[in-house]
Amino acid sequence: MTTLLSIKNLSVSFRIDRDTQYEAVRNISFDIPEKSTVALVGESGSGKSVTSLALMGLLPKENSKTSPDSRVMYKGKNLLTISSAEMQKIRGAEISMIFQEPMSSLNPVFTVGFQLGETLEKHANVSAAEARKRALALLEEVGIPEPTTSINKYPFQMSGGQQQRVMIAMAIACEPELLIADEPTTALDVTIQKQILELLAGLQRKRNMSVLFITHDLAVVGDIADHVIVMRHGQIREQGSVRQVFTQPTDPYTRALLACRPRVDTRPKVLPVIDDFINAENVAHASNTNQSGTQLFNPLANVETRTRGIKPEDSVILDVQGLSKSFYTKSGFFSQKEFKAVNDVSFKLHKGKTLGLVGESGSGKTTVGLTLMRLHEATAGKAFLEGKDILAMSEAEFKQYKRRIQIIFQNPYASLNPRFTVGQILQEPMQLHSIGNGGQERAGLAFELLARVGLPEASFYKYPHEFSGGQRQRIAIARCLTMKPDILICDESVSALDVSVQAQVLNLLQELQDEYGMSYLFISHDLAVVKYISDEVMVMSNGEMVEMANSDDIYARPQHPYTKKLLSSIPTGMAAMA
Amino acid sequence: MSTTTPSPTRTIDPRALAAAERSPGLWQLAWKRLLRDKIAVLAMFIVIGFILLSLLSFFGVVAKDWSKEVGINYAPPVFAPNAEGGGLDAPVTVTAPSQTGDATALPFTFTTGVKDPLEAEMKEIYAQLGRGGASAPAAAAQGYVSTIVDPLAEDLAAIRKELGRPDPTGVSSATALGSGYKGSIVDPLAEDVVAINKELGRAGAMAGAMAGAMAVVTTAEKKIVRSPTLAFGGDKWGRDVLAKVIKGSETSILVGFAAAIVATLIGTVLGALAGYFGGWVDDVLNWFYSIFSAIPYLLLILAIAAVVNKKGVITIVLILGLTGWASIFRLVRAEYMKHKTREYVQAATAIGASNWRKMFVHIFPNVSHVALVQLSLHVVLFIKSEVILSFLGFGVGVDTVSWGSMLNEAQSELILGKWWQLAAATLFMAVLVTAFSLFTDALRDALDPKLK
């Protein structure tokens, strides 16, 4: 196999301020062979996106620097040193790129046909009529339904998956030799993700191009990649064929990544986290017992598994009956259009148990959570907490119940007030609900909770921006714990986190449930996570409940076709290899 | 952190140690960023200098006597003494008191260049009567003689006596009467006129008094001595332009800050209400805003100024404050609309925070930098507005001075070539406005580093 593009000793550093440099990528080397798919895997901050920007010549010139011995060799040329005019010719025509957010990558004021045609006219030098013909063919190729009508659509008239298809069509329009896909499926639903992955794999084979697939999700990689590179903190931890990386990972970090993601087939009591692996490795090295290299820490050995499920004798804490929520948009001068976000959903939440709520975007799962919190007003339905309908009571009456039902939001970066110190964030609910006597006692409680969620004491005086995503989510959890709620709604609470951090937060949530006996309503689009944490799973689609059963049952014997479709979309790469 | 304190006898509370690692807040960080900007620091010093100057002026430390006529009319500035100045054709000449002698005790004599308007006529009368008025030629040459008696002369004499000091002049100081200088202006021709009247058998009405050589007694104040040049020149009435421009800074800065604070308060509170609550509250406030912004700004100001018709600093502050909130309102409203949907506000709702708390405890600190930058921008804007208002005559009254009223005066002075009042007001205004604008820019950058 001949090499298409070769990266040698690439180092990229960013200037943060006058005398601080941040080394985003440190001395990495790898090759992209012709006609193959190379996956670059790493968590946030691993330098994977910086690498891709460097080889597209898209690094910001003002504050970034590549080291003098860095090479990106492509057809005998070093892409880091050629002129920007030369790079311009290569970029788009020979190397093209697709991004994570199709919505923000497409210009909203032009039709997709226009944007596709523009690319073709610019790079392939064809007439407008010819460009339109080729645009139609491309849309057909990437699987856009009814290309002849879709070509005149604006980006906002298409779904996220279709937009990403258009982006792919634009990227392959000039028949590039290398397609860089930077997290192309991260913003998409699991069923759409599967389709896009299949499309990319098919195009790669059909067009004999190479694909550099950048992702944080190792599971996705198994399906499509030939070669896997694992990065962490700007360095390559491991690289090799996909089979080797998945079945015989040599690097503890790779093994940790593989192990700490919840899996559908087993359910360990505590998820392994990255530190377990790295520490085990260090211990092994320190005591020098790892001579043969066979005594590797095995995450699946000797792990206590947890059984889940609702038994008939479990008591019910929240009984939701016929919950509906409609949103209205003005469609005419006098008329309004009703959109049923949640339509007649009923379920029971059992004490000390977790109900997983699964669905794709737009299925209404988040609306259920927000409506139960009364952050949205329910259109119809009842929710009984200890015999009282919390949806019908007055605002004043509900205030007593607010502390009993709490929510953790998806985005830990947005859910903490950036102008409050962590101490203020934790003490505020105590002040509002008169928990604790005076500031001294509240501060004491806050310190205890910080320790409980595994944050250092100094956090009390710090601002949220000084913490990583996982730490912020811990702060959000601690804020809820101040009120000792009975019910905790976790709205995609671990979705924005890196795999390794996700495992830590899931472990924390599980520990807290065991300790305080809280009931969780766990909302997520990630089927594996829901399977891991839930006793019972409810599947939603288009605002309606599709299926509800004990979690093991629903994964083993899905009844509804939609559930079956969802389950079949879970990336299987890892499971197939293991 | 606690491992670094090997104190076996005394256990240090880890929480106290944690407190030592307290993180800098938004304002501290912004302040640090601001101090890194050299131009910002320079501008800040200039602005602070102006504020101190106006405070000193406010408490009467400097420029208290701005309304006193200390110089001659249109006195030129000291750095340009030959500039076309002096309003009087015959400048007042002062015979300076002798430096060595104890001059204060002397009823010294001024020789003024004032010519007796009757002189020519008197000469004719002399010729007609064939008189050769003995004093006439001398008097005519000498002009009026005025004597000024120092009121302290008597005290000084007493002090001398007490100390046993000899009186070097021997002049009796008994003439010092009452308070203030007492001057008598004696018409050198008075004696002659009395003689003539006598000769002609006329009984001049004033003659009796005049014969006593005490014709007019004026109580003149010290200020009668007017300086020929002033630091920054003088205005039409001989008032010190430097004092005026300092007093004018006080007015302008006071108006600028007070009006900006009023406008920011109104704009922020209304913007917060409209943005946070939305719905009919937003509609009502938006209508209100639209009405305000539909009327040309200057016209609105002039109309209110004309209706209120009571000149003064407070009136201008109210006019500017009540008309200038519109843009702040829009900005703060947009910020609140953006922030109210943020998850941290939802989280605050979830823990049971009231609307008031969410608006001002949660959201406000996140939009306060917008309000602060707007405040700073509006200070500059309102300083300029006040100048325009005062220039147009709708500003401060005649008993106050502002840069605008100075520019207004300068308008007519400029025709006469008296440029210094204009120059002084323009220089001060330009320096302050430029410095403040630069400071505002730096402030915005410091508060929102992402913008840069």
**Higher pLDDT, residue A241 or B309:** A241
Q: For A461, which of B22, B346, B357 is closest by C-beta distance? A: B22
Nearest chain B residue to A455 by CA distance is B18
The alpha-carbon gap from A472 to the nearest alpha carbon of chain B, in Å, equals: 12
pLDDT of residue A180: 92
The amino acid at residue B211 is: A
Residues of A with CB under 8 A from a CB of B: 370, 373, 375, 399, 402-403, 406-407, 409-411, 414-421, 428-429, 432-433, 443, 447, 456-463, 466, 476, 479, 483
Phi, psi of A519 (to 5 degrees): -105, 135
Q: Do B21 and A483 touch (CB under 8 A)?
A: no
The two tokens of residue A335 are: 């008329």
* Helix, strand and coil percent figures for chain B, each rounded to 5: 60, 5, 35
pLDDT for B268 beyond 90: yes
Phi, psi of A321 (to 5 degrees): -130, 120
**Higher pLDDT, residue B14 or B383:** B383
Q: Give contacts of B357 with chain A, Cβ < 8 Å.
A: 432
CB A523 within 8 A of CB A490: yes
pLDDT of residue A400: 82
Q: For A458, which of B21, B365, B366 is closest by C-beta distance? A: B21
Q: Model ipTM?
A: 0.78
pLDDT for B109 beyond 90: no
A vs B, Cβ pairs < 8 A, gives 88
Q: Do A432 and B353 touch (CB under 8 A)?
A: yes
As a whole number of angstroms, the distance between CA B107 and CA B147 comes to 6
Nearest chain B residue to A17 by CA distance is B33
The amino acid at residue A465 is: H
pLDDT of residue B331: 93
**Higher pLDDT, residue B27 or B168:** B27
What is the DSSP annotation of A498-519?
-HHHHHHHHHHHHHHHHHH--E
Q: Give contacts of B21 with chain A, Cβ < 8 Å.
A: 458, 461-462
The alpha-carbon gap from A433 to the nearest alpha carbon of chain B, in Å, equals: 8
Q: What residues contact residue B427 under an 8 Å CB cut-off, 6+ apart?
A: none
The two tokens of residue B131 are: 């008189």
The two tokens of residue B231 are: 């630091």
Considering only CA atoms, which of A365, A308, A350, A378 is closest in space to residue A493? A365
As a whole number of angstroms, the distance between CA A173 and CA A166 comes to 10
Angle formed at CA A305 by CA A302 and CA A311, multiple of 5 degrees: 160
3-state secondary structure at position B71: strand
Residue environment code for B332-363, b if the CB has 16+ CB neighbours within 10 A, otherwise e: bbebbeebbebbbbbbbbbbbbeeebbbebbb
The two tokens of residue B330 are: 């829009």
Q: Give contacts of B33 with chain A, Cβ < 8 Å.
A: none
As a whole number of angstroms, the distance between CA A45 and CA A59 comes to 16
pLDDT of residue B190: 66
Q: For A461, which of B19, B351, B365 is closest by C-beta distance? A: B19
* Helix, strand and coil percent figures for chain A, each rounded to 5: 40, 25, 35
3-state secondary structure at position A58: coil
Confidence of residue B216 (pLDDT cuts 50, 70, 90): very low
The amino acid at residue A373 is: M
The four Cα atoms B423, B424, B429, B434 give a dihedral, to 10 degrees, of 70
pLDDT of residue A566: 86
- Backbone dihedral region of A544: left (phi > 0), alpha (psi from -120 to 50 degrees) or beta? beta
The two tokens of residue B134 are: 């003995």
Cα of first residue to Cα of last residue in chain A, in angstroms, is: 27
Q: How many CA atoms lie within 13 A of A120 on its CB side?
A: 23
Confidence of residue B68 (pLDDT cuts 50, 70, 90): confident
What is the DSSP annotation of B427-450?
HHHHHHHHHHHHHHHHHHHHH-GG
Q: For B25, which of A373, A411, A463 is closest by C-beta distance? A: A463
Confidence of residue B110 (pLDDT cuts 50, 70, 90): very low
Nearest chain A residue to B13 by CA distance is A457
Cα of first residue to Cα of last residue in chain B, in angstroms, is: 36
pLDDT of residue B166: 65
Cβ-in-10-Å burial (0-12, 13-18, 19+) of B170 comes to exposed
pLDDT of residue B87: 43
As a whole number of angstroms, the distance between CA B130 and CA B124 comes to 10
Helix or strand run (H / E) with residue A359: none
CB B386 within 8 A of CB B251: yes
Considering only CA atoms, which of A204, A492, A207, A183 is closest in space to residue A368? A492
3-state secondary structure A101-128: CHHHHCCCCCCHHHHHHHHHHHHHCCCH
The alpha-carbon gap from B347 to the nearest alpha carbon of chain A, in Å, equals: 6
Model pLDDT for residues B83-92, shown as the tens digit of each residue:
654 444 434 4
Q: Do A417 and B21 touch (CB under 8 A)?
A: no
3-state secondary structure at position B96: coil
Chain B contact probe: residue of A18, A415, A433 with most B CBs at under 10 A: A415
Q: Do B23 and A460 touch (CB under 8 A)?
A: no
Q: Give contacts of A20 with chain B, Cβ < 8 Å.
A: none
As a whole number of angstroms, the distance between CA B271 and CA B92 comes to 63
As a whole number of angstroms, the distance between CA B423 and CA B231 comes to 13
Nearest chain A residue to B363 by CA distance is A417
Q: Give contacts of B366 with chain A, Cβ < 8 Å.
A: 417-419
pLDDT of residue A520: 93
Q: Give contacts of B347 with chain A, Cβ < 8 Å.
A: 407, 409, 415-417, 476, 479
Q: Do B22 and A463 touch (CB under 8 A)?
A: no
Chain B contact probe: residue of A417, A442, A459 with most B CBs at under 10 A: A417
Chain A contact probe: residue of B351, B357, B363, B372 with most A CBs at under 10 A: B351
As a whole number of angstroms, the distance between CA A348 and CA B283 comes to 42
Per-residue pLDDT of chain A (578 residues; tens, 9 = 90+): 688 889 989 999 888 777 778 888 988 999 999 888 999 988 888 888 889 888 888 888 878 888 888 888 888 888 888 888 888 888 888 898 888 777 778 888 999 888 888 888 877 778 888 888 889 988 988 888 888 888 888 888 888 888 888 988 888 888 888 999 988 887 778 888 888 888 888 889 888 899 999 988 887 888 788 899 999 888 898 888 888 888 888 888 888 888 877 777 777 778 877 777 777 767 666 555 444 444 455 545 556 677 777 777 788 889 999 999 998 887 777 788 888 889 899 999 998 899 999 988 888 888 899 899 888 888 899 999 888 898 888 888 888 888 889 999 888 888 899 888 899 999 999 988 888 888 888 888 899 899 888 888 888 888 888 888 888 899 999 999 898 899 999 988 888 788 888 888 898 999 899 888 899 999 988 888 888 889 999 999 888 999 998 888 888 888 899 988 888 888 765 554 44
Q: What does the pLDDT average to over B284-302?
A: 85
- Tell the residue number behind the tokens 């005591």, with chain if given: A287
Q: Give contacts of B29 with chain A, Cβ < 8 Å.
A: none
Chain A contact probe: residue of B5, B343, B368, B452 with most A CBs at under 10 A: B343
Nearest chain B residue to A443 by CA distance is B15
Q: Do A461 and B18 touch (CB under 8 A)?
A: yes
pLDDT for B195 beyond 60: yes
- Backbone dihedral region of A156: left (phi > 0), alpha (psi from -120 to 50 degrees) or beta? alpha
pTM for the full predicted model: 0.74
**Cα four-point dihedral sign B330, B335, B341, B347:** negative
As a whole number of angstroms, the distance between CA A325 and CA B218 comes to 94
Q: Give contacts of B346 with chain A, Cβ < 8 Å.
A: 370, 375, 407, 409, 415
- Tell the residue number behind the tokens 């919190």, with chain if given: A373
pLDDT for B8 beyond 70: no
The alpha-carbon gap from A425 to the nearest alpha carbon of chain B, in Å, equals: 10
pLDDT for B408 beyond 90: no
Q: Do B350 and A373 touch (CB under 8 A)?
A: yes
